[in-house]
């Protein structure tokens, strides 16, 4: 009775452990993460090229983006003779300066979400594979012949059904 109770506790513990096959799941997560990193590198590379070869960010009537200081002002006289107070021109911005921080921030969030998604999704693949291997190894070592059981939302449902059909027709 204690062996059965221990086996149930072990199975329950495995169900809540998301790293079942670390090697498979790490490779799965790294491959998906590499996609995000390539997109970030590509995007930052394009922004760097824009920085090195600047062109106006606004329409031809516009110009470039310049920060204006509101603490220091210049008095200018307009064409109609009115005196206008204007901020002192500050830093000139280009596309790279404007967009690299938001792109890195959003890409970092995407990377974290991708790792979390990759862990949960790979769990739905690694769990059934681990369960199939363990059950087949137990049967090969002379253990009881029993069908393979996986959770309802796991991947490889059809494969498990086919293996269970084989076990039922050939082994029993």
What pLDDT is recorded for position 8?
60
Question: Rounded mean pLDDT of 64-93?
Answer: 75
Contact 57, 65 (CB under 8 A): yes
Contact 133, 39 (CB under 8 A): no
CA distance 50 to 64: 13
The model's pTM: 0.51
58 pLDDT band, cuts 50/70/90, is very low
Residue with tokens 């008095």: 75
Torsion from C-alpha of 105, 107, 112, 114, nearest 10 degrees:
160
Name which of 29, 43, 51 is nearest 104 in CA terms: 43
Residue 34 has pLDDT above 80, yes or no: yes
69 pLDDT band, cuts 50/70/90, is low
Q: Give 123-164 pLDDT, tens digit per residue.
A: 888 888 888 999 989 988 988 888 998 888 888 888 999 999
| Stronger pLDDT, 172 or 142, i.e. the higher one | 142
| Stronger pLDDT, 92 or 75, i.e. the higher one | 75
CA distance 172 to 169: 7
CA distance 57 to 64: 6
DSSP label at residue 74: E
Residue 122 has pLDDT above 70, yes or no: yes
CA distance 11 to 14: 5
Q: Which two three-digit tokens encode residue 87?
A: 């901020």
DSSP track, 1-34: -HHHHHHHHHHHHHHT-S-SSHHHHHHHHHHHHH
Three-state secondary structure call for residue 63: coil
Question: Rounded mean pLDDT of 84-89?
Answer: 75
Question: Rounded mean pLDDT of 34-62?
Answer: 70
DSSP label at residue 79: T
Residue with tokens 């082994």: 171
């Amino acid at each position: 009775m204690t062996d059965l109770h221990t086996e149930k506790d072990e199975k329950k513990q495995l169900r809540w452990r998301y790293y079942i096959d670390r090697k498979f799941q790490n490779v799965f997560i790294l491959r998906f993460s590499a996609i995000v990193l390539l997109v970030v590198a590509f995007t930052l590379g394009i922004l760097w090229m824009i920085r090195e070869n600047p062109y106006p960010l606004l329409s031809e009537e516009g110009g470039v983006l310049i920060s204006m200081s509101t603490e220091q002002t210049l008095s200018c006289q307009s064409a109609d003779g009115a005196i206008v107070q204007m901020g002192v021109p500050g830093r000139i911005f280009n596309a790279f300066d404007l967009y690299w921080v938001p792109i890195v921030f959003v890409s970092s969030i995407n990377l974290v979400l991708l790792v979390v998604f990759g862990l949960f999704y790979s769990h739905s693949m690694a769990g059934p594979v681990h369960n199939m291997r363990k059950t087949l190894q137990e049967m090969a070592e002379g253990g009881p012949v029993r069908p393979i059981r996986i959770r309802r939302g796991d991947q490889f449902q059809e494969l498990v059904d086919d293996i269970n059909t084989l076990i039922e027709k050939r082994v029993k």
